[in-house]
Structure 1
């Protein structure tokens, strides 16, 4: 069984240091049991529900190993690049090459399903005072990912993520993002990605729209 130790982070709404824009990126390490529902952890809040939160972005995991890479690339922010600082709910020693779209993992009493990557935004640059950090995260596919909650329940800090179900025919998240980011991906590759069981409906819709567009190009 594949398993990984996990840390849990939750937080409310804060303001970014320069623009004053609202953000839910500033989170604190959870120290007691938490209820996890279909829209995320009790006590965790998202500032802009157009882009964060909801059933298919209920829980965000960012691979803890990526922080070392980011610190090398952006040394001026190295001291601030620690687990939890990118607004993730879960921090674990997993990465995008180790999980597949549709994977189901157990966390405490709950079951989580990998459904889409995170799309990093400009607020990351302001949070760390580093122009280009969000773009670097996107370009290197070090995005982390979102889970949907397929079984709600209670989660206790200090637990593990345990792989329960995986489809060996599905793309890893890294492979899926690589296909999606190609300048002109093959329609067959996009069709396979769109048909992956467990993929987020919003991402699937974008893939289908892109397929339709590509079919219009001679």
Structure 2
């Protein structure tokens, strides 16, 4: 049986506005700024936060992105950059220390402030990270290292502020830390029994479709467009 991790402190909250980005026709809110006051959390995320491409970012299943500050030493060593001086480098909304993909599980229910959240999925990194850092391999390194962070859906809206405690109040999938699920998705897994077990989890519709396609086709989907983007420079 898995052990529910101790509560952590929500060290920082970041929000951003969508603006034109690096490639023709692109838009992004990845350059988020810290807020010092309490924010309102609703079904679509944090009030005042935006997403540049709603086809793949945001919405109820990706309402809030949480990225562990625990990973920053890894990035500073392999991809040194001024953005890594503080949290927010990866476009995350929530930053904390103490929880990682090894301790947080799919569908964990989280209480923070007066809001109740649920871990909906891990992040599937995209090319906008490469352009943010001016490096060609940030998205692929995030994926291959398993240091993706995760998204929340909002079960109960409310308010949260920097300094609030974050507590896991329910563990729905005790055998499925996000690290394990990441291995299934990103290590080119085609083992049928593993895919079938994962497909029975309370996954988002997009991830259910991904696993279903692998089972039907016995092949892994292409990641080229997501990791390198259009008109890759």
Per the normalisation by structure 2, the TM-score is 0.85
Secondary structure of 2:36's counterpart equals coil
The CA distance in 1 between the partners of 2:134 and 2:25, in whole Å, is 13
Alignment of 1:33-112 (within 5 A): 33-75=38-80, 77=81, 79-81=82-84, 82-93=86-97, 94-112=99-117
SS at match of 2:14: strand
Deviations 1:121-162 (A, max 9, x none): 111111111121111111111111111111111112210210
- Residue 196 of structure 2 is aligned to residue 196 of structure 1: no
Q: In the alignment, is the contact (CA less than 8 A) between 1:180 and 1:190 conserved in 2?
A: no
Note the residue ranges of structure 1 that are not aligned, 5 or more in a row.
none
Match of 1:23 among 20, 25, 28: 28
- How far residue 24 of structure 1 moved from its aligned partner, in angstroms, is 0.6
Displacement of 1:191: 1.6
RMSD: 1.8
Compute the TM-score of the two structures, normalised by the length of structure 1.
0.91
Deviation at 1:20, TM superposition (A): 7.7
Give, in angstroms, the shift of residue 18 of structure 1: 6.9
- 1:192 & 1:53 partners in 2: Cα distance? 27
Describe the superposition over 1:171-192 as per-residue Cα deviations: whole angstroms up to 9, x where unpaired.
Answer: 1000011022233432121121
Pair 1:11-2:33 in alignment: no
Partner Cα separation in structure 2 for residue 183 and residue 155 of structure 1: 37
What secondary structure does 1:65 align onto? helix
Residue equivalent to 1:116: 121
Q: Secondary structure at the match of 1:169?
A: coil
SS at match of 1:196: coil
Deviations 1:44-85 (A, max 9, x none): 00010011001100010111111111111012x1x2113112
